[in-house]
Structure 1
């Protein structure tokens, strides 16, 4: 007769399951939740199996029954809370409620995986390893496109009204000088406003921000942007986030020189950056405050990743973050302490519930939220509209 699993097995599997259910701030699809709960519950079950085998004391049948019964009730309660939380989040952002597949994904799939490990651990391990190898083989040839929804890097003036520089393979000085020179030749010095828009990793500038600046300042506005990479922002963020700062500083340095060479009218200078671009825009702000403090009018930062920009500013600055945006909460340091915000942060978007911070667990859930951060409408997750520029 097959015995019930040990208390150690139940506790470890339950811990993995509850960690997977710990709530985030964005709607999550059934597939995501199925994979997450199954993977963490199975991982916990494997750890529990190893601990049980190392134990020299064999639990009796009564202890096993109590552990399984209490674990089942706790798991059911956790699943109910997870569904309730998702319902609240989805209602707040206007997403449809969870369906039967969502329910089945967080209950049937992880329960089946844990039961398989308990009954046939060796067979389950072979199947899991084969599935992991097959998945890795299928995903290996895939390559993410360096595209964020905007024009390609290295172009000149595009239909979105942005004057773009060339993507430099080495330093940014020559590319920045050429961009500013073309801006001067196009009559930029006599314009009312110039916006230095630091792009995301792939060279994308949010067209809704450009539209917002046009509404705010009128049509006598010039937008300059110098790309510093041609890979998705997350890759640029991991590999070399200093490039955003270096390129932005190169542009404002040459811009300051050009303005100084034309006495008289000076255009209003605004710095803007979204996501990784906010890192570069804030670095340019600091440089201007140190070298040309009277030239800078204001800085607008949208959704900077946690801990990447200065906490305070000596010049007018606005930092905008959606309440449900995981990007503004994500950083490696969030593993051991909650992410902070700059003092001038303005929270926007629908009010969503936010679970208490837990070490490691909150970092994991924020990382999961990143997968769907761009799926919602403006104001939800990492999506922003014309309101971001004030």
Structure 2
């Protein structure tokens, strides 16, 4: 005689598999793990939904495999795991909102609204239900959504939103301070020679200082830094920059970051030849400067000068170099400037498995933001998401810097 199927038995049978619950909750908590910058509702929705959906898909496959080998878990186990999962997910959502508001308060941004709440809770819940109930339709819709999101969400690139057309020959700024060479990659020696010749003919040797400003991948030089160096040297300064690419910095960094190194060394090689032809007391102060990917090239030029022309370089100023891209220490005076909330200085592929390291001379600026412990993979994911909004804040927030980046290295004259 068969046992009647009760309502509670049918309900328990339709409860999600414990493996699925654990996978979804774990992915949801990973998605909500905070970074150091405010997240808008759209980004929060995409990240929370996408990562949770991945957890649901993986959990569903693992649950099916577990059921084939071990059979279905009993009703009580499903109820207990589901109840714990709901409580943990709800607690994680509340903690995420609280932490997000802490970050926003520190950066003087508005607190989260209902749209943020909905994106962090309702959207992931809806996608999990869809994956469990109609997996094939959901897969098609998800593929379309991923393709759309890939086109909309691209990493921030310093200077990408402030066009500075690259010249065919040497171009001089309106103030006469900034001299920009022509883009001629991968041959950097000819444009470097023309740029230095233009600097000499423009009475650059009589200035107090010459700044080699290695640009970002787009050929951009931060005008705040230009103004800062102008103020620091009372306008008696020349700034030389040689572009090495005309694409966003992140694309140049991924495709070939060596071009920033090659171009900066080519420029300082030509400059050193001219400077060493004059007495030390009768030549301008040589300073290297670079921001973002430009900082990588500036630090490479520093090392080259230390090896080939010791005593010629006065100082190096690096602004927001990506994590692990510059030497930990310097033999000559060096200053590394970084905002506390800047994700660029924490981003590197190696941060997938180890915490990012800071150079010895780093000087932190900007508002103090709450920091969460580093976690493998998770912190890399959230730092990558922060890159999307790195340029959205005011000066001192994220990847936005001001005239303070042109400050003198401690103990050196202005």
TM tier, shorter chain? over 0.9
SS in 1 for 2:162: coil
Deviations 1:76-107 (A, max 9, x none): 10000000111110111111110110011101
8 Å contact kept, 1:148–1:202: no
Q: Which residue of the partner structure matches residue 106 of structure 1?
A: 120
| Residue 338 (structure 2) aligns with | 321
Matches of 1:342 and 1:146 in 2, distance apart?
24
Match of 1:234 in 2: 250
Which residue is 1:48 aligned to?
A: 59
SS of the aligned residue for 1:68 comes to helix
Aligned residues: 386
Q: CA RMSD of the aligned region, Å?
A: 1.9
In structure 2, the residue matched to 1:283 is: 300
For residue 94 of structure 2, the aligned residue among 63, 73, 80 is 80
Measure how far apart 1:136 and its partner are. 7.6
- CA gap of 1:303–1:70, structure 2 versus 1, over 3 A, is same
Q: Structure 1 residues 37 and 286, CA, compared in 2 at 3 Å: closer, same or farther? A: same
> What is the aligned partner in structure 2 of residue 25 from structure 1?
36
Name the structure 2 match of 1:152.
165
2 CA distance for matches of 1:33 and 1:152? 35
Pairwise CA distance, 1:158: 2.3
Give the distance between the partners of 1:367 and 1:355, measured in 2 at CA.
15
Change in 2 beyond 3 A, CA 1:127/1:275: closer
Q: Which entry has the higher C-alpha Rg, 1 or 2? A: 2
Q: What is the aligned counterpart of 2:217 among 189, 193, 201?
A: 201
Listed one character per residue, the Cα deviations across residues 10-46 of structure 1 (whole Å, up to 9, x for unaligned) are: 0001111000001100000101011111111111111
Cα contact 2:186–2:259 (8 A) shared by 1:
no
1:110-189 aligned at under 5 Å gives the runs 110-132=124-146, 135=148, 147-154=160-167, 156-159=171-174, 161-189=177-205
Instruction: Report the CA distance between 1:262 and its aligned residue.
Output: 3.8
- Change in Cα spacing, 1:191 to 1:333, as seen in structure 2 (3 Å) is same
Contact 1:146-1:230 within 8 A present in 2 as well? no
Q: What do residues 229-288 of structure 1 show as CA deviations (whole Å, max 9, x unaligned)? A: 111100110111111111111111111111233446100111100000001111111111
Identify unmatched segments of 5+ residues in structure 1.
Answer: none
Deviation for aligned residue 1:130: 4.7
- SS of the equivalent of 1:371 reads helix
Distance 1:357 1:138, change over 3 A: closer
**1:306 counterpart = 2:319:** no
Q: Partners in 2 of 1:292 and 1:138 — Cα distance?
A: 46
Are 1:342 and 2:359 counterparts? yes
Q: 1:305 to 1:137 in 2, by over 3 A?
A: closer
CA distance in 1, matches of 2:341, 2:180: 31
Deviation at 1:151, TM superposition (A): 1.5
Q: Per the alignment, do residues 284 and 357 of structure 1 end up closer, same or farther by CA in structure 2, a change over 3 Å counting?
A: same
Deviations 1:149-208 (A, max 9, x none): 142122611236310000013311111000000000000011111111000001100000
Equivalent residue in structure 1 for 2:107, among 53, 72, 93 = 93
367 and 166 in structure 1: CA distance in 2 versus 1, 3 angstrom threshold: same
Aligned-pair CA distance for 1:343: 0.5
Local SS of the residue matching 1:337: coil
The CA distance in 2 between the partners of 1:121 and 1:158, in whole Å, is 58
Are residues 132 and 214 of structure 1, via their aligned partners in 2, closer, same or farther at CA, if it must alter by over 3 Å? closer
Q: What TM-score do you get using the length of structure 1 for normalisation?
A: 0.95
